[in-house]
């Protein structure tokens, strides 16, 4: 299914700008953006909010999108990255340590169960990685982008992306 | 942990979220369009008002100068008689200097003529009664805006139509004689959810003046309208669109579900052995579709692809049948394009054939193959009832009563919603509304249109201007979308 979607997106990227089928683009890209944020944030209620924010921004700016400058998914993921960065930046001033202790004491069995899910476990592990590596994981496994697309978004070379991902997965595997 | 494990952590977005977001985007789209039009309109209005104001000032100035001129001329004549050199006609400006005595200023030589005549005042042509006449011929600013045709404070009506009613509404609009204003209503095809949301958007974010929908406005939608201050909405039920699945009079009776019809008519269906895979439809007999059905070759005649009837067939019969297949239903949110393709594409191997609803349909197709099923519109079915068997679809027989209560699955109501406050702001909106309310007069045969029952039509006629209230929406049984 994912490869079929990628093929459709690639086929569309060769079309002129005025022929973009926005409904199809929405259907293709929504799961990818949604999963990008899931992986980036380790799940959570804000995933839907950030996905919606990304699409709203892209939708309102779609007249300005230029096919000659970037593929649609590259453009959309740039917006998603910025939305994610803004969000993480706003979240960064953490609560004071005392509050953190209080929060830890409030963990309920339900919350425990959620935390124990694979994704949140992965989220906890990736949170220890540098930003760049977290981004690579989210783009590769959340957004299902290929190494070439990731290279275009991150400014790394394609081979560097492949090598980095391999190392990151090794690291995560050792800590799992 | 490996690639497969990480990829398996992906999830599809919740369907409610995907649907809600799409509606938000469509509403945002509608708002943006409206805003852009609103900006353009404002710029145009500003231009109009500016030029009208300038024109008005010019006319006023001319009028005042005409009134002042005779008196001024008398004084000028007197002054000129006493000191010709001191006189400077106003029209020539302060820099005018007469060149010697021969170059007497205009008017001096004609001082004996009655005051007020153009020659006497020295202001040729433009002043005096004749000029007043010409000033009167200059249209007033408001006349300029209306007569010039360039400038209009009103807009052409904008009508949102659901995909099902699209062809019907366009055929009605296009069949009208040219309008006096020259403003042709704009028709845009949009899903009813988004159209009604746009109609009820607050303030100038509204994009549409009228909505023609294939369902009634929901109570919650109307509540939203009221919250946004839009509480003068006229609702008119225009009729229905209905299809009948039937066969020749002498055929063996058989009742089919929407799922059966889908599995018989669709181009691609889920593989029975592996439902997540889609294969070309290989069913050739009805018992292959469902083993409970009898052995009988599949032969289905349906409406041509580009017709409203085909749209109705796809929406009201194929799609519900398609959604009954669990593996396809999941695609509705995840991949709407693929979903639509799977649900709406009919097979091309002659088991499904397109036919026209003509007089030869029954003798040529159904008499030749009494086991064939055919999809015809309700009017055709009613007219040829003696040649056709009962409806082959599970559920009640088609009738306007069954359409009205929503129990017949192959029918959709048609509702018109008009924001009453827009009627005054939109060019010939009232005419457009009346045309749509008279859909029955203009709907062509083969459109699937069915008029209201007499008592319903009478009730509609008795309250053409009655605005909708929340209590109107409660007793109505919800109609399937």
pLDDT tens digits, B432-467 = 888 888 877 777 666 788 988 888 888 877 777 778
Asked if the model's pLDDT at residue A97 lies above 50, the reply is no
* B120 shares its domain with B102: yes
* B222 shares its domain with B317: yes
The position carrying tokens 């009837």 is B309
Domain-ending residue, one of B129, B147, B165: B147
Residue B302 within a domain: yes
* A114-123, B144-153, B189-198, B273-282: least confident range: B144-153
Highest mean pLDDT among B13-22, B66-75, B286-295: B286-295
* B421 shares its domain with B275: yes
Question: Residue B159: in which H helix or E strand, if any?
Answer: strand B158-161
Question: Residue B130: in which H helix or E strand, if any?
Answer: helix B128-137
Residue B324 phi/psi, 5° resolution?
A: -70, -15
Confidence of residue A110 (pLDDT cuts 50, 70, 90): low
- Domain membership of residue A20 as a residue range: 2-175
Domain-ending residue, one of B105, B128, B147: B147
pLDDT tens digits, A49-78 = 899 989 888 887 777 776 666 677 888 888
Confidence of residue B397 (pLDDT cuts 50, 70, 90): very high
- Measuring CA to CA, which residue among B129, B122, B126 is closest to residue B104? B122
The set of residues, in sequence order, having a beta carbon less than 8 Å from that of B99 and lying 6+ positions away, is none
B218 or A92, higher pLDDT: B218
Tokens for B450? 């069915």
Question: Which ipTM was obtained for this model?
Answer: 0.71
Confidence of residue B260 (pLDDT cuts 50, 70, 90): very high
Instruction: Choose the mutation target among A28, A59, A173 for the interface with B, i.e. most B CBs under 10 Å.
Output: A59
* A15-19, A118-122, B208-212, B402-406: least confident range: A15-19
pLDDT of residue B203: 65
pLDDT tens digits, B172-231 = 887 777 777 677 888 888 888 888 888 888 765 557 888 999 888 988 888 888 888 888
Contact call for B334 and A28, based on CB within 8 A: no
CATH code at position B387 = 3.40.190.10
Contact call for B3 and A141, based on CB within 8 A: yes
Contact call for B6 and A144, based on CB within 8 A: no
pLDDT tens digits, A118-159 = 777 788 788 888 888 888 989 998 888 888 888 888 888 888
Asked if the model's pLDDT at residue A37 lies above 70, the reply is yes
Cβ atoms of residues B155 and B143 within 8 Å: no
Q: What is the mean pLDDT of residues A12-32?
A: 68
Nearest chain A CA: its distance from B169 CA (Å): 24
B28, closest residue in chain A (CA to CA): A60
Asked if the model's pLDDT at residue B398 lies above 90, the reply is yes
Cβ atoms of residues B162 and B213 within 8 Å: yes
For residue B14, the chain A residues in CB contact (below 8 A) are 48
Nearest chain B CA: its distance from A105 CA (Å): 29
Asked if the model's pLDDT at residue B344 lies above 80, the reply is yes
- Domain membership of residue B203 as a residue range: 157-481
How many Å apart are CA B169 and CA B195, to the nearest integer? Answer: 15
Residue B327 within a domain: yes
Of A2, A28, A56, the CB nearest to B25: A56
For chain B, what percent of residues have pLDDT higher than 70? Answer: 74
Q: What is the mean pLDDT of residues B278-294?
A: 91
Asked if the model's pLDDT at residue B261 lies above 90, the reply is yes
- Mean pLDDT for chain A overall: 74
* B165 shares its domain with B86: no
- Structural domain count, chain A: 1
How many Å apart are CA A35 and CA A33, to the nearest integer? Answer: 5
- Structural domain count, chain B: 2
């Amino acid at each position: 299914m994912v490869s079929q979607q990628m093929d459709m997106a690639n086929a569309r990227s060769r079309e002129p700008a005025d022929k973009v089928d926005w409904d199809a683009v929405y259907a293709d890209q929504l799961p990818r953006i949604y999963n990008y944020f899931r992986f980036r944030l380790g799940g959570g209620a804000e995933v839907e909010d950030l996905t919606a924010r990304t699409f709203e921004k892209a939708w309102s700016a779609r007249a300005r999108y230029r096919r000659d400058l970037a593929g649609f998914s590259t453009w959309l993921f740039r917006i998603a990255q910025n939305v994610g960065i803004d969000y993480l930046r706003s979240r960064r001033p953490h609560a004071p340590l005392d509050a953190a202790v209080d929060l830890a004491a409030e963990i309920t069995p339900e919350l425990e169960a959620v935390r124990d899910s694979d994704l949140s476990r992965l989220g906890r592990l990736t949170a220890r990685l540098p930003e760049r590596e977290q981004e690579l994981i989210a783009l590769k496994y959340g957004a299902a982008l290929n190494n070439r697309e990731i290279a275009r978004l991150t400014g790394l070379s394609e081979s560097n992306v492949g090598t980095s991902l391999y190392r990151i997965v090794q690291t995560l595997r050792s800590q799992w | 942990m490996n690639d497969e494990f990480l990829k398996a952590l992906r999830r599809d977005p919740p369907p409610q979220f995907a649907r809600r977001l799409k509606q938000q985007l469509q509403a945002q789209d509608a708002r943006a369009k409206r805003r852009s039009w609103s900006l353009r309109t404002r710029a145009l209005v500003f231009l109009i008002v500016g030029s009208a104001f300038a024109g008005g000032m010019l006319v006023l100035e001319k009028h005042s100068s005409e009134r002042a001129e005779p008196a001024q001329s008398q004084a000028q004549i007197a002054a000129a008689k006493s000191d010709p050199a001191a006189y400077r006609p106003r029209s020539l400006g302060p820099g005018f200097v007469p060149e010697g005595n021969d170059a007497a200023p205009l008017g001096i030589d004609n001082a004996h003529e009655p005051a007020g005549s153009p020659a006497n005042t020295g202001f040729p042509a433009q002043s005096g009664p004749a000029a007043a006449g010409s000033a009167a011929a200059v249209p007033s600013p408001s006349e300029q805006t209306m007569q010039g045709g360039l400038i209009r404070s009103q807009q052409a009506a904008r009508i949102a139509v659901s995909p099902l009613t699209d062809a019907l509404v366009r055929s009605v609009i296009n069949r009208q004689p040219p309008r006096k204003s020259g403003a042709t209503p704009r028709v845009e095809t949009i899903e009813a959810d988004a159209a009604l949301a746009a109609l009820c958007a607050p303030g100038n974010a509204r994009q549409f003046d009228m909505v023609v929908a294939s369902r009634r406005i929901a109570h919650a939608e109307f509540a939203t309208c009221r919250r946004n201050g839009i509480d003068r909405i006229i609702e008119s039920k225009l009729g229905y669109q209905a299809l009948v699945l039937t066969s020749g009079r002498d055929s063996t009776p058989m009742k089919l579900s929407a799922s059966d019809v889908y599995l018989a008519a669709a181009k691609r269906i889920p593989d029975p052995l592996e439902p997540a895979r889609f294969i070309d439809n290989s069913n050739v007999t009805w018992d292959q579709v469902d083993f409970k059905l009898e052995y009988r070759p599949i032969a289905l005649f349906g409406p041509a692809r580009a017709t409203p009837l085909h749209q109705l067939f796809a929406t009201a019969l194929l799609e519900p049948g398609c959604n009954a297949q669990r593996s396809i239903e999941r695609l509705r949110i995840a991949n709407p394009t693929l979903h639509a393709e799977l649900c709406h594409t009919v097979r091309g191997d002659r088991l499904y054939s397109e036919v026209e609803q003509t007089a030869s349909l029954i003798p040529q197709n159904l008499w030749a193959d009494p086991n064939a099923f055919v999809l015809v519109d309700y009017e055709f079915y009613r007219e040829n009832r003696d040649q056709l068997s009962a409806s082959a679809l599970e559920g009640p027989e088609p009738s306007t009563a069954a359409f009205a209560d929503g129990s017949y699955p192959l029918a959709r109501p048609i509702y018109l919603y008009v924001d009453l406050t827009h009627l005054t702001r939109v060019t010939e909106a009232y005419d457009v509304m009346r045309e749509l309310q008279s859909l029955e007069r203009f709907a062509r045969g083969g459109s699937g249109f069915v008029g209201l029952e007499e008592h319903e039509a009478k009730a509609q006629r008795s309250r053409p201007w009655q605005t909708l209230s929340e209590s109107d929406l409660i007793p109505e049984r919800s109609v399937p979308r």
